Each structure stands twice: as C-alpha cells, then as structure tokens.
Amino acid sequence: MPWSIHHPAPRRGAAALLVCGLLAVGGCAGAPPRYAENLCQVIAQRPDWYDDARDAQARWGTPAHVLMAFVQRESGFNRKACPDRPWFLFIPLPRRSSAYGYAQAQDPVWKEYKRANGRWFKSRKDMDDSLDFLGWYTDRIHRELGISKWDPLHLYIAYHEGIGGYRRGQWRHDKSLLATAASVDRRAREYGAQLRRCR
C-alpha cells in the first residue's frame, strides 16, 4: 500500500539518513588531507587553505609554502593535534605542554597573539587563524632575530625554541631538533616547487 500522511515513517527515515549524511560530510571536512607530502593535492582537497595561506603571507610576509610546511610538521594537518598524555599505571597525567591545533601554539603565546591582534574569537582549530598566528610569530622572529622569512630551517628552530631559546643557542647541540628543522626546510622547499607547478 502506498504511504500516505497517516504513515510518515519513510519521511522520518529519509530525514535521519540526510542528517547522518551531513554529519559524515562534516566529519570528512575536518579530517587531515590525504597525500600531505604534495601541497597541490592538499590544496585540491582544501582550496580554502590556499586562500588562508596567501592571506597570511600578504599580511606578514612569510611565504605560504613555508607556513604550510610548519603546519604539516607541527600537526600533520590535524586540527585537534595535541601532545600525548603520559600515564602512570592507569592514571592519566598532565600533558607535557599546552600546544594545540594546527600550529601547536601554546597557551601563553596564543593569548599574546590574540591580545596583539585585537581579535578574541580566534581558534587554534581553524586553519586561517593558525596560519595567521604562524605569520605573526615568524614576523616577530624576523624582527627580533633577523632571520629571513625565506629561511625555513632557522625560522623553525626559533619557532620551536622560542626567541629567547634561539638566542641562548643551545639548539646548536640538539641533533634531534636540527634534523627536524632540516626536514621542515626540505618540506618547505618541496612545497614551494609544487606550488609553482600547481597554480
């Protein structure tokens, strides 16, 4: 028998399927992109990120491909990235730092960034805000330390160690950090070459 107004079950079922589908799409939109080693493919999946990176470059002067390489290293494009929580037996302990989001910005410097830019409704889980933060901080590194915004290796060391930490120079003896910074430098240069080809 055909369904009538007295038998609305299929409508409810269709509505439930629609809601589930929308939730699934939303979940996919928040997932890290596949093939993160290729910036062209990242942009193909999330073209808004290219606009965000270009906006940050226009505002702060740090190249878009350098900013994206930082995000890839810090969070793997995971909007909710944070340090692992250590455990003692079955008891969760505090995380090692307050780093969070795409740029792994820690609480104190994130608050400073928001105060400096006069916009309180920013989120470390939003790519545009994270890229703007990276632009702001790398601009500060450039002004205070004289590091070129086209030098991903030393920019990343200063980003990781902080401006004071970079000045103290202990990073020169940290082989692990130097290797990480070199990998960020390579990724940034690869991203730059890819970006020129995929425009």
Tell me the backbone φ, ψ of residue 128, rounded to 5 degrees. Answer: -65, -40
pLDDT along the chain (199 residues), means of 10: 38 40 40 86 94 97 98 91 56 60 90 84 89 97 98 98 97 97 98 90
Q: 20 lies in a domain?
A: no
From 26, 130, 113, 27, select the one nearest 77 (Cα to Cα): 130
Cβ atoms of 156 and 181 within 8 Å: the answer is yes
Cβ atoms of 69 and 60 within 8 Å: the answer is no
Q: Report how far residue 71's alpha carbon sits from residue 187's, in angstroms, rounded to the nearest whole number.
A: 11
- Structural domain including 121 reads 35-198
Q: Report how far residue 108's alpha carbon sits from residue 69's, in angstroms, rounded to the nearest whole number.
A: 23
Q: 179 lies in a domain?
A: yes
Q: Report how far residue 54's alpha carbon sits from residue 65's, in angstroms, rounded to the nearest whole number.
A: 9
pLDDT for residue 33: 80
Q: Report how far residue 112's alpha carbon sits from residue 89's, in angstroms, rounded to the nearest whole number.
A: 36
From 130, 27, 36, 127, select the one nearest 76 (Cα to Cα): 36
Q: 46 lies in a domain?
A: yes
pTM of the full predicted structure? 0.79
Q: 8 lies in a domain?
A: no
Number of domains the chain contains: 1
pLDDT for residue 124: 86
Q: 13 lies in a domain?
A: no
Q: 124 lies in a domain?
A: yes
Q: 101 lies in a domain?
A: yes
Token look-up 């500060």 returns: 140
Cβ atoms of 138 and 149 within 8 Å: the answer is yes
Q: What is the CATH number of the domain that holds 163?
A: 1.10.530.10
Q: 65 lies in a domain?
A: yes
Q: Report how far residue 179's alpha carbon sits from residue 157's, in angstroms, rounded to the nearest whole number.
A: 10
Q: Report how far residue 54's alpha carbon sits from residue 124's, in angstroms, rounded to the nearest whole number.
A: 18
Cβ atoms of 45 and 175 within 8 Å: the answer is no
Angle at 178 between CA 175 and CA 181, to 5 degrees: 150
